[in-house]
Amino acid sequence: MTFADHNGTDDETAGRADDRRADAEYADAEQTNADHADAEQSDAERGDARDYADAEVDVELDGSSFGEYYDEDDEEYDAEAAERKAAIVEHTGVRLQKVMASSGVASRRVSEDMIAAGRVRVNGEVVREPGRRVDPEKDEILVDGTAVQADTSKRYIMLNKPVGIYSSLRDERGRPDLSRYTDEFEERLFNVGRLDAETSGLLILTNDGDMAHVLAHPSFGVTKMYIAKVEGRMTPQTIARLTKGLDLEDGFIAADKARLLDASADGTSLVEVTLHSGRNRIVRRMLDEVGHPVIDLVRRRFGPLHLGTLAPGQMRDLTKVEMSELLTISRQAAKDTPAAEAADANTADANTDASADE
């Protein structure tokens, strides 16, 4: 087994089976949507006036009415009418089944069945009425206990960062940075945490600041798994030192997990290290401390996400299943961490914030 086998190639150890499972679940959801496409089309043709996304409406408000409104670039754009419509949408919200369908959970008809069966919760309350209106940006929706990202303005991208790319959106020295990837998107994306220039692997790009904080800050315990090719033949005793803990110049550190994958005849070893710390170059420093300097390092996992077969330099949107898993972690962290503790966590350790190299 070579180090290259762990960077953008088929790797069961790093979660390849989980990737296939997630993609299969997402494909099933997409097929469900396709199966109900005809039924959804007939719904739209009826022009359901209760849904602003389905049909143009003519609403009486303060004695005045408006039917259609225009884009701001249109010379006939009616700002007041647009504001009135925005106020109505904010007040009434969007029908729950519409939000579920837009989020990729299922078609609207199937979503209605799921709601009627009591499988959907809004802000912790079981909802059985399909007509229930929600605010996609504020209300928390769960289906069968799994969080749904209803805010379609949020974007989540997985990047396999190559060696030689700096984890900055605009590098002050003009070195190759992440802008070559983020510039491809209309949304203003930023990276969750960092990988140093010599490290490749899984990096998340998003515009969801709340989720980024939960994923990057060590106080929330989201683990990251790395595979390192190191100098020397590592022994089980050395692996035990990594998990027992080491005293480095910036304090004590212990890996959550560590295991030896291979010890080659050429005098190198492959080791897997899992930890939730975000300290600067922490994996390299830990392996240096035990006498096995890093030759190559790749991050294979970040929380529930697996790099899978994504090649270096390639990107992809997260699947609906992956987004749900991240959202569940984020919401649970928000519930478990009181506001005061969260504020303290933000400033507790300057070496473990989202800008630290790993």
Tell me the residue range of the domain where 274 lies.
3-13+154-352
126 and 275: one domain? no
Residue 53: per-residue pLDDT: 39
60 and 172: one domain? no
135 and 165: one domain? no
Task: Indicate whether 260 pLDDT > 80.
Answer: yes
| Region of poorest pLDDT, from 82-91, 130-139, 145-154, 213-222 | 82-91
100, 131, 148: which is the final residue of a domain? Answer: 148
158 and 265: one domain? yes
223 and 254: one domain? yes
CATH number of 307's domain: 3.30.2350.10
Instruction: Say if 21 falls within a structural domain.
Output: no
Q: If you average pLDDT over residues 128-135, what whole number do you get?
A: 89
Instruction: Say if 141 falls within a structural domain.
Output: yes
DSSP letter at 166? B
Instruction: Give the up-direction half-sphere exposure of residue 295: CA atoms within 13 A in the CB hemisphere.
Output: 14
124 and 261: one domain? no
60 and 168: one domain? no
131 and 169: one domain? no
Higher pLDDT, 79 or 342: 79
Task: Indicate whether 316 pLDDT > 70.
Answer: yes
- % the chain with pLDDT above 70: 68
180 and 256: one domain? yes
Task: Indicate whether 3 pLDDT > 80.
Answer: no
Residue 352: per-residue pLDDT: 37
Instruction: Say if 234 falls within a structural domain.
Output: yes
pTM of the predicted protein model: 0.70
174 and 243: one domain? yes
Q: If you average pLDDT over residues 5-13, what whole number do you get?
A: 54
The catalytic residues are 196
Q: Are 307 and 300 in contact (CB under 8 A)?
A: yes
| Region of poorest pLDDT, from 174-178, 190-194, 236-240, 340-344 | 340-344
Instruction: Say if 25 falls within a structural domain.
Output: no
Long-range CB pairs of 281-286, under 8 A, 24+ apart, other chains included: 281/196, 281/357, 281/358, 282/253, 282/358, 283/226, 283/228, 283/358, 284/196, 285/248, 286/242, 286/246, 286/248, 286/253, 286/255
265 and 245: one domain? yes
Tokens of 15: 């979660």
Q: Are 286 and 255 in contact (CB under 8 A)?
A: yes
The secondary element (H helix, E strand) that includes residue 317 is strand 315-317
Residue 358: per-residue pLDDT: 59
193 and 309: one domain? yes
Instruction: Say if 132 falls within a structural domain.
Output: yes
Task: Indicate whether 112 pLDDT > 60.
Answer: yes
Instruction: Say if 31 falls within a structural domain.
Output: no
CATH number of 81's domain: 3.10.290.10
148, 173, 201: which is the final residue of a domain? Answer: 148
Q: If you average pLDDT over residues 55-77, what whole number do you get?
A: 38
Residue 71: per-residue pLDDT: 43
Read out DSSP for 293-311? -EEEEEEEEETTEE-TTPP
Number of domains observed in the structure of the chain: 2
pLDDT band at residue 277 under the 50/70/90 scheme: confident
Instruction: Say if 27 falls within a structural domain.
Output: no
pLDDT band at residue 77 under the 50/70/90 scheme: low
Q: Are 278 and 216 in contact (CB under 8 A)?
A: yes
Instruction: Say if 20 falls within a structural domain.
Output: no
111, 128, 148: which is the final residue of a domain? Answer: 148
Tokens of 117: 């069966």
Residue 125: per-residue pLDDT: 93
Tokens of 176: 């190759």
Higher pLDDT, 195 or 83: 195
